[in-house]
């Protein structure tokens, strides 16, 4: 479990040389983001690195982290790469497959039983290839990484969209698909389009009910779910330095909700304190020695408009607590306006469940602030009106807050402690309800609240807030309650009001744990057998995808024209489908079942051009595949936003979809499509989306001359004999075009290992 101090020394040793070279090449002061990126350029790739926002650049990350749901497919792919061990330090974290139902102990026991073959596979493949393995119950990947592996100035990729959590300790940490992780573990450079830079200047200092969570809730309201796309968000200023390291992690974590590539804070005394508090003083001492390189240059922060593509300024002293939602994390409401919004929009006012914790807000500080509200409810004789759950982020945090009495406080006010896992945040929740379709409201301290995400009910209005706000709302059971100003009637009939929450950044007695849940890999894994049963319904060894046939694509059918928001949850749902993450054919039965068909406004109902009948999307596509017919999926703006799951790219590829044509892509999903050899293209004129008809035959021309920056042409052959033709764009560079031709990046990796 120990961090790799020698690796960190090597990273820091090259900083001065790399940063000085970058200053000379660019002729200007540097942001923190630029310093870290330049320090992690792959050897020999400085040629394009200083042209911000235009060129793809090769980087050499220091670390790979994988959660169990996505690790299955990433490692199944890595097994085909032909390497005896991973090339960089890597870890697997079992956090996604534990369903929240009864409570921590019972749910973990059930998970270990139900998921045994998956855990055995992940344990054995980690053992064989030199990967650290964190057992079920050890904690959520992002919290465990922050506590053990994140370090200032490092670069990490992770197979989860909330990997940027590590930015709270000054690390460039980016969510990717499993194919990208496979590349890096195989020793190949990792490619990223050099990002735009958004600067967020924080002034003042938080007080009262306001928390770090409210910073990102406000930023989400400003930038929306697309505003950070293609950009890294860098926070700076006196306000930034006043925030705890875990509070910064919360902000960076939820930066995924604005589409940002990642978010980051500079190294400061708060980061040093957290490193020391988690037994990493050696890293703090190394970071202190190069502290000037672990923050942006003074000239940048004094004149940010000259060095960032966009600058936002927030005064923490004036920041109100926020509640965001429902159905999208960027619908931001200051608490003073939230009750009015609830009434005006006719959202269900009765709150049924309040949920705190998750990878976003489960630090010691979060738990203590929430517990201070829970303790007031007990002392002021308030009965909790809504169901209330607590999800610790790691066994380290859970054990420590239990030792310090906070879990007992939650239990006394009626709370239920769930396993150290993602649970309800990702739909792994057996919710207690008498009507799973009823219009209702819940509030969480999670990061994401798309429709159906938590409990599968499209009528659940999910709102997002800080843990302390969630706790207060759960006690009140009423969304029109304002804990800052309103009173509640206690069991004695008295009117009582909450005092401001109080929290502790780091435990006074230090962190403690009996068994953190870590398993080190074998010293020599050559004789370790990877456990995959040929009859398993949950695990399936992969066959390579077929290469491009060398011709234009003609006579394709339209599978679905998706209307409106189409996230990775719509393309490949989580919840009960998580159990099939290691079995590509079985999980493909959820492909696009959540997408809304433009032509009938229904989910999982598309016209089969062979039979003329309407049926489920996966079954229709399997029929096309059986008849050798290729298809096209058409989508709207920001197609594939949300979680990093590469299954959303692999499933269409596996079932025979030939192209995804959309108005715009979310970054990770577009990359995932490219890695799998799929053609991902965008309308040059978004109005051409309206020309797509249900019975069209579709040609995609220009592939025989496929080249970077060169448009392709789509021809629509309509059922009435007319045609439409229009240009489409793509962002494939020369290397990515080779992925397409080879049938996927993995096919090229395997050839290179021979």
Q: Which residues are catalytic?
A: 95-96, 160, 448, 643, 645
CB atoms within 10 A of CB 412: 12
Q: How many Cα atoms occupy the beta-carbon half-sphere of 378 within 13 Å?
A: 15
Main-chain dihedrals φ then ψ at residue 190, nearest 5 degrees = -110, 130
| Tally of CB atoms within 10 A around 571 | 29
Q: Where are the strands (E) in 167-307, listed by range?
A: 172-175, 190-193, 196-203, 231-236, 262-265
Sign of the CA dihedral with 466 first, then 467, 473, and 476 last: negative
Beta strands 697-701 and 712-717 are antiparallel
Write down the residue that tokens 């190294």 correspond to.
Answer: 267
Which residue from 752, 744, 736, 746 is spatially nearest to 191, judged by alpha carbons?
Answer: 736
Angle formed by the axes of helices 178-185 and 68-78, to 10°?
50
Residue located via tokens 């010293």: 523
CA pair distance 352, 442, nearest whole angstrom: 6
Q: Phi first, then psi: what are they for 719, rounded to 5°?
A: -65, -25
Helices 245-253 and 269-277: angle between axes, nearest 10 degrees: 100
Which pairing describes strands 488-489 and 631-635: parallel, antiparallel, or unpaired? unpaired
Burial class (CB in 10 A: 0-12, 13-18, 19+), 54: exposed
Residue 693 and residue 230: Cα distance in Å, rounded? 31
Residue found under tokens 């953190």: 516
- Report d(CA 745, CA 301) in Å as an integer: 40
């Amino acid at each position: 479990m120990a961090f790799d101090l020698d690796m960190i020394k090597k990273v820091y040793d090259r900083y001065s040389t790399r940063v000085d070279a970058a200053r000379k090449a660019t002729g200007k002061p540097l942001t923190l983001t630029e310093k870290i990126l330049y320090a992690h350029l792959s050897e020999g790739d400085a040629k394009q690195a200083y042209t911000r926002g235009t060129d793809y650049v090769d980087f050499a990350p220091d670390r790979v982290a994988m959660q169990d749901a996505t690790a299955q497919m990433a490692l199944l792919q890595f097994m085909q790469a032909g390497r005896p061990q991973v090339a960089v330090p890597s870890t697997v974290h079992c956090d996604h497959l534990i369903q929240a139902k009864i409570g921590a102990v019972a749910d973990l026991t059930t998970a270990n039983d139900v998921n045994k073959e998956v855990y055995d596979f992940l344990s054995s493949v980690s053992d064989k290839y030199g990967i650290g393995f964190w057992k079920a119950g050890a904690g959520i990947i992002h919290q465990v990484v922050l506590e053990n592996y994140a370090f200032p100035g490092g670069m990490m990729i992770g197979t989860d969209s909330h990997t940027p959590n590590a930015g709270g300790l000054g690390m460039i940490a980016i969510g990717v698909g499993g194919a990208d992780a496979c590349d890096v573990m195989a020793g190949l450079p990792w490619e990223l389009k050099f990002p735009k830079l958004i600067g967020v200047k924080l002034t003042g200092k938080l007080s009262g009910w306001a928390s770090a969570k409210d910073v990102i809730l406000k930023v989400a309201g400003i930038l929306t779910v697309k505003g950070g796309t293609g950009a890294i968000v860098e926070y700076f200023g006196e306000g930034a330095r006043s925030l705890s390291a875990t509070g910064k992690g919360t902000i960076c974590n939820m930066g995924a909700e604005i589409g940002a590539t990642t978010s980051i804070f500079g190294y400061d005394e708060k980061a040093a304190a957290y490193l020391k508090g988690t037994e990493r003083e050696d890293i703090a001492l190394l970071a202190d020695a190069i502290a000037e390189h672990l923050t942006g240059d003074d000239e940048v922060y004094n004149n940010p408009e000259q060095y960032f593509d966009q600058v936002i300024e927030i005064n923490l002293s004036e920041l109100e607590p926020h509640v965001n939602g429902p159905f999208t994390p960027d619908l931001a409401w200051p608490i003073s306006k939230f009750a009015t919004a609830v009434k005006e929009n006719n959202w269900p006012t009765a709150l049924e469940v309040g949920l705190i914790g998750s990878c976003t807000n489960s630090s010691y500080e979060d738990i203590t602030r929430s517990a201070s509200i829970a303790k007031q409810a007990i002392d002021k004789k308030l009965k909790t009106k809504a169901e209330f759950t607590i999800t610790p982020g790691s066994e380290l945090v859970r054990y420590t807050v239990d030792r310090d009495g906070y879990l007992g406080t939650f239990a006394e006010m009626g709370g239920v402690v769930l396993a150290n896992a993602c649970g309800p945040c990702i739909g792994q929740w057996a919710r207690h309800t008498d009507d799973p379709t009823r219009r209702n409201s819940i509030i969480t301290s999670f990061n994401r609240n798309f429709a159906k995400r938590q409990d599968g009910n499209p009528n659940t209005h999910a709102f997002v807030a800080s843990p302390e706000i969630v706790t207060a709302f759960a006690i009140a059971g009423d969304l029109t309650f304002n804990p800052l100003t309103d009173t509640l009637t206690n069991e004695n009939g008295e009117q009582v009001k909450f005092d401001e929450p109080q929290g502790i950044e780091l435990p006074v007695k230090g962190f403690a744990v009996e068994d953190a849940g870590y398993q080190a890999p074998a010293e020599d894994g050559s004789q370790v057998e990877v456990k995959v049963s040929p009859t398993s319904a949950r695990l399936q060894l992969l066959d390579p995808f077929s290469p491009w046939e060398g011709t234009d694509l003609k006579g394709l059918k339209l599978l679905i024209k998706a209307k409106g928001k189409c996230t990775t949850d719509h393309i490949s749902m989580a919840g009960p489908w998580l159990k099939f993450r290691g079995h590509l054919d079985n999980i493909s039965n959820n492909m696009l079942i959540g997408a809304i068909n433009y032509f009938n406004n229904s989910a999982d109902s598309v016209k089969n051009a062979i039979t003329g009948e309407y049926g489920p999307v996966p079954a229709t596509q399997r029929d096309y595949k059986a008849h050798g017919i290729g298809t096209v999926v058409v989508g709207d703006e920001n197609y594939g936003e949300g979680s990093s799951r590469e299954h959303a790219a692999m499933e269409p590829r596996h079932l025979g979809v030939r192209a995804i044509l959309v108005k715009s892509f979310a970054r990770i999903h577009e990359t995932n499509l490219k890695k799998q050899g799929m053609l991902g293209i965008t309308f040059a004129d978004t109005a051409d989306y309206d020309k797509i008809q249900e019975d069209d035959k579709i040609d995609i021309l220009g592939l025989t001359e496929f080249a970077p920056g060169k448009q392709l042409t789509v021809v629509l052959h309509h059922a009435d004999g007319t045609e439409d033709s229009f240009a489409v764009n793509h962002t494939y560079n020369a290397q990515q075009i080779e992925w397409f031709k080879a049938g996927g990046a993995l096919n090229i990796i395997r050839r290179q290992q021979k």
